[in-house]
A and B are shown apart, each in its own frame.
Chain A
Amino acid sequence: MASTSNSTSSKIITLRSSDGEVFEVEESVALESNLIRRMMEDDCANNIIPLPNVTAPIFYLVIEHCKKHAEMKDNKEKKKELRSQGEELLKSDPHTYSNLMEAVNYLDIKSLMDLTAQWLADFLKGKSPRLIRELLKIKNDFTPEEEAEILERNRWAFD
């Protein structure tokens, strides 16, 4: 069904997400993904490349950030902006974040991996363990005794 697009440009790659949505992506953007690069080297270029592990909304996010990342290479403002987006995403929707992370890993995009991993690292800065658990909805699985002991040992860290 995507065959019509081939006439416009040779640099368009067709991909299909796990929920059946089909995307056309510029080759330069798609090749950021080592997975797609490998698939193309293995001669899948003329067909639709299936991405069984990535849903459409997440794939949108991936593409968008690939693009932004390419843009920001020598733009400090953009870099800052992109780094700050992690904070917002993690606060509002940690689920999307973890899905995005997995997709980036699956697609094997080095630059985005660095970026998204850094998001979480930045997000954790200056936050107490309790706040981190609350915001990221992580269950505290230490026993009360363990926690008391740990807190005792690390009291200075949370003053």
Chain B
Amino acid sequence: MEETCNSRTLTWLVKSCRPNPNAETRRKNAFASRLSDHPPSANRPENHLDPSPFSSLPDDLLLECLSRVSHSSLPSVALVCRRWSRTVDSPAFHDLRRTLGRLRHTLYAVAVSDYGIFSATHRVGSGVPWKISPFPGIEALPSEIFDGSFSHARMLALGRHIYVIGRAATVRCDAWTGSVSRRTPMLFPRKKFAAAAVGGRIYVSGGTARTAGVEEYDPEADAWRVVAESPRRRYGCVGAAADGVFYAIGGLKIGGRGEAATRGGRLEAHVYASSMDLYDVAAGAWMRSRHVPGGGCVVAACEAGAGIYVVASHAVELSFWRCEGRRGSAGFGEWCRLKSPPVPPQVRLDGAVRFCCVGIGEKRVGLVQVFGCIDDLLRRSGRMARGFREGLVLVYDSEVGEWSRGPDLPEIFQRSACVCVEC
């Protein structure tokens, strides 16, 4: 290195025409020694004049530098000073990291078990097995909030923040810095409810007999409020969102008037399981409900790009659909049947096996088996097929229209909730 840094190379490179050759040599040596020798006594006078060389660095340059740090450095970087913390928080930081290819779609699975709270992460498409870790920073939260609060919780991501919304508690985890904080719980305790993010806010619906209200969460104000009354009280439903519309999909009827529940109850139950209610967030109005073609029961759903993807269970098979969610286009609300996920056709999703559907960016959909054992199901019907057991992870790529299999979700993550974050 000394060789490349010596002043001869420099002279060859740059010829100075400065009239005073002595001054020039002095200067050159000074800087050359800075690079190659870096004397331990960094007591150059300028260091005393300005104690922080980085305070003069313009914001955009700081952004350039910090957006290149590795994911593991982010927690430290965000804690150096206010300015750095602000930089990491800025939307430009997110955009630049994406442009630089520093962001990867990462699946998070969070499970609450008797042994504590665990999260597992998997970089989609990397083929690297899930990485298990205790939920970051969870010890910073009071333990009593976890008592039953998070069974059948929903998880969703707003940017890099993962919200775990449980019956009586909400927790936010920053997927980049790992910091965890407690947030305001929903106004009404809900289980197995629909949740989705529209325009930077969270909408939840269903999962309780006490109200038909749709709640909106404003992350800035950390506050929930009821914004609408849902036409159907659903339980066990799933949420999705596309183009400013919040979808409450599937599930069973809950609560309601006694007479209505008994009269033609079966028929109505089926209507719930195969339909979705569309709430236009900006207009504050409900749109016409849609039904999954073929009358399957929705078992998992999510959004990806401008499409709502739905896995439906029929008597004899599983079907996979995409509903066009882009409004204003001629095809809005139109269904398109896609290749079914490669699970044995005998698998009926009736609670013995559960899947969680996660949009991975604009083009892909992940299907994660979060409960049950497929082999057990098959054995019941007299088949001894092997290979599909627990924690199956399948990824559908809408560009090629094919499914691929990812590393299985570890066993401990039974009953977990999944979400995809760019980090």
Contacts and interface: CB of A to CB of B under 8 A. Distances in A.
Interface of A: 1-2, 5, 14, 20-26, 29, 56-57, 60-61, 63-64, 67-68, 81, 85, 88-89, 91-99, 101-102, 105, 113, 116-118, 120-121, 124-129, 132-133, 136-142, 150, 152-158
Interface of B: 1, 4-5, 9-10, 13-19, 24, 27-28, 30-31, 34-35, 38-39, 42, 44, 46-47, 50-58, 60-61, 64-70, 72-73, 75-77, 79-84, 134, 136-137, 139-140, 177-181
Contact of B81 (A24, A101, A139): A139
Contact of A120 (B18, B27, B60, B65): B65
A29 B67 CA distance: 27
A139 B51 contact: yes
Contact of A138 (B10, B54, B64): B54
Nearest to A88: B38
B54 A23 contact: no
A154 B54 contact: no
Nearest to A1: B17
Nearest to A146: B82
A64 B46 CA distance: 23
18 contacts: A5-B15, A21-B24, A57-B27, A61-B35, A88-B35, A92-B34, A93-B42, A95-B50, A121-B66, A126-B72, A138-B81, A139-B52, A139-B81, A142-B79, A142-B81, A150-B79, A150-B179, A156-B134
B65 A154 contact: no
Contact of B38 (A22, A61, A92, A142): A92
Contacts of B76: 124, 127-129, 132, 157-158
B66 A23 contact: no
A97 B61 CA distance: 12
B100 to A, nearest CB: 9
Contacts of B57: 98, 101-102
Nearest to A78: B4
Contacts of A94: 53-54
Contacts of B68: 117-118, 120-121
A23 B65 CA distance: 29
Nearest to B82: A141
A25 B14 contact: yes
Contacts of B50: 95
B42 A156 contact: no
A154 B178 contact: yes
Given A61-B31, A137-B52, A68 B4 contact: yes
A155 B10 contact: no
A95 to B, nearest CB: 4
B61 A81 contact: no
A105 B80 contact: no
A60 B28 contact: yes
Nearest to A48: B17
Contacts of A26: 13
A139 to B, nearest CB: 6
Contacts of A158: 76
B137 A154 contact: yes
A41 to B, nearest CB: 23
A91 to B, nearest CB: 7
B52 A93 contact: no
Contacts of A14: 17
A22 B16 CA distance: 6
Contacts of B15: 5, 23-24
Contacts of B10: 60, 63-64
A68 B150 CA distance: 56
A137 B16 contact: no
Max chain A C-beta neighbours (<10 A), residue from B4, B10, B28: B4
B38 A155 contact: no
A117 to B, nearest CB: 4
B18 A156 contact: no
Contact of B65 (A25, A64, A117): A117
